Amino acid sequence: MKKILALVLMSVLILSVFSGCGSGTVQTGSSAVSTVTGPDKITLSGNTAKYSGKGVVINGNVITINAEGEYVLTGKLDDGQVVVNTGETAQSVYLYLENADLTCLTAPAIYILQAKKVHIVLPEGTSNRIVSGTPSDMENFDKNASGGAIYGEDDIDIEGEGSLEILGYINNGITGKDDVQIEGGTISITAANNGIRGSESVTVSGGSITLTCGNDGLKSTSADKEGKGFVQIDGGSLDFTVGGDGISAETELVINGGDISVTTTGDSLLSSCKAIKANNTLTINGGTLRLSSDDNTISSNEAVFITDGQIVSASSSRKGIHADEKIRISGGSVEITAVEEGIQTRGDVEVTGGTIRVSSLEDSIKAGDKGDGTTTPVGTITISGGDIVLFSTGDPMEAKLSILCSGGRVFGTGSPKNAKGADRGSEQAFVAVNLSGKEGDTIRVSGASGEWSEVTTRDYNYIFFSAPELVSGQEYTIEAGNSSITVEAK
């Protein structure tokens, strides 16, 4: 009996927290009415609303939808709340926003208490706005506050071709305790904390999202259920300026397409502000990514796989690409500017294809871990394809175990303490010389089998070059600035 009473009290508490705007009472699932089959219009006006169909109860400034079906929201609600609560039976609700303007000063403006899935539809040509709190709430943001301008205990799906402005002054823009999916619409989000938070997953397949927030931009947070905790981006346009991490996945992050621009404004010495990150694997199969961060721009606690896409990455303090276990690049275009290493992992780096350009203050590609005395050193760099240009004030390539080239073109300059070049076990010939020069020099390698040149972006005292056309034992001339030297390919 005590447990039952505790559950009842907890339910009342939850409803009171998220119904803070309402002077009325949220209708619970026990009062659900018969299913509606057509879109009925709910007209918002000031602190109340009008509605003539079934499935809706209006109590003061709280509008409760308690039956599955299609509903149209139009007009302006100054300080109130739209609640979706279809009861214990899983039901789908479609909310069509027809030039709707909803504000709740103390809680979510749209609160999804119970429903199988709520589809928020933005019809073409409509302009809509959803607000939680006031600008002063954002200035005095409490990180322990909860909720969002749109808050859902169940799945949230946003679709359509209209526009939607979300102002999450109290906390987040969109918060979903289950899955959040964005399929369309022109969406602008300003939030004190997170922009879009789907606990179990976030999927973006279309639309245009512009996001500005004080903490993380788009994130998943829970791996409690098997196969959940992921973020997947299949398309759309994303333009994020955030104080924390740009895109963050509790488990896997998969980017298959889309036009993605992420700028993080945080200080990496104080907190995580990575452009994109995953606790498990991070895979980029396509899309255009422009990433700028004071932290690592691409980061995984496991592995990073890049198969395609166009990536431009700039880190002002950390690494371009980091993975704890492995990095594999098999296609696409990757351009990195980094203060630390351009591409770094404590495991192995494997390049089988693609175009890679790195300009870094420390090593351009670094693999491995020396171990701690009880563990064996690990880390190899294996290159079997691709077009790779590496400019560094450290090593172009540095590995704890071995550097093996069996294909692809590698052009690198640096200022290493002990240059290794490629291991003699490499199948592909290479040339390596100690020759000094300045940023902006044109470096040219020429011989009977061809001629190659690049303009370096860093001062250097070492040059490395390997290509399928090089022939072991043949001589090649390397010109750098006003200097030149002839060496034999190994």
DSSP 283-343: EE-S-EEEEEESS-SEEESSEEEE-S-EEEEEESSS-SEEESSEEEE-SSEEEEEESS-SE
What share of the chain has pLDDT > 90, as a percent? Answer: 81
Question: Structure tokens of 319?
Answer: 């690494």
Q: How many domains does the chain have?
A: 1
Strand pairing report for 365-367 and 397-399: parallel
Interatomic CA distance for residues 195 and 244, integer angstroms: 10
What type of residue is 187? I
Band of residue 6 on the pLDDT scale cut at 50, 70, 90: very low
Judge contact between 253 and 278, C-beta under 8 A.
yes
- Give me the mean pLDDT over the 263-284 stretch: 97
Judge contact between 457 and 391, C-beta under 8 A.
yes
- Give me the mean pLDDT over the 275-302 stretch: 98
Phi, psi values for residue 16, rounded to 5°: -70, -35
Q: How does pLDDT run across 215-226, given as a tens digit for each residue?
A: 999 999 999 999
Judge contact between 93 and 86, C-beta under 8 A.
yes
SS3 assignment, position 29: helix
Interatomic CA distance for residues 252 and 226, integer angstroms: 12
Residue 366 maps to a domain: no
What CA–CA distances, in Å, run from 76 to 45, 79, 81, 160, 169? Answer: 5, 9, 11, 20, 18
Band of residue 13 on the pLDDT scale cut at 50, 70, 90: very low
- Give me the mean pLDDT over the 401-405 stretch: 92
Residue 350 maps to a domain: no
Above 70 in pLDDT, residue 372?
no
Band of residue 449 on the pLDDT scale cut at 50, 70, 90: confident
Above 70 in pLDDT, residue 146?
no
Element (H, E) at 6: helix 2-18
Residue 117 maps to a domain: yes
Q: Please name every residue paired with 288 in a beta bridge, in sequence order, or none if there are none.
A: 259, 310
Angle at 308 between CA 306 and CA 313, to 5 degrees: 65
What type of residue is 429? A
Q: Considering only CA atoms, which of 381, 332, 380, 355 is closest in space to residue 454?
A: 355
Q: Which residue has the higher pLDDT, 486 or 40?
A: 486
Residue 100 maps to a domain: yes
pLDDT at residue 7 in the model? 37
Residue 24 maps to a domain: no
> What would the DSSP string read from start to end of 212-274?
EESS-SEEE----STT-SEEEE-SSEEEEEESS-SEEESS-EEE-S-EEEEEE-S-TTTS---
Above 60 in pLDDT, residue 231?
yes
Phi, psi values for residue 40, rounded to 5°: -105, 140
- Give me the mean pLDDT over the 406-424 stretch: 83
Q: Mean pLDDT, the chain, as a whole number? A: 90
Above 70 in pLDDT, residue 234?
yes
- Give me the mean pLDDT over the 95-101 stretch: 97
Show the domain range for 89. Answer: 31-193
Residue 378 maps to a domain: no
Interatomic CA distance for residues 273 and 264, integer angstroms: 6
Residue 152 maps to a domain: yes
Judge contact between 162 and 97, C-beta under 8 A.
yes
Residue 444 maps to a domain: no
Above 80 in pLDDT, residue 423?
no
Q: Which residue has the higher pLDDT, 253 or 139?
A: 253
| Residue 38 buriedness (CB in 10 A; 0-12 / 13-18 / 19+) | exposed
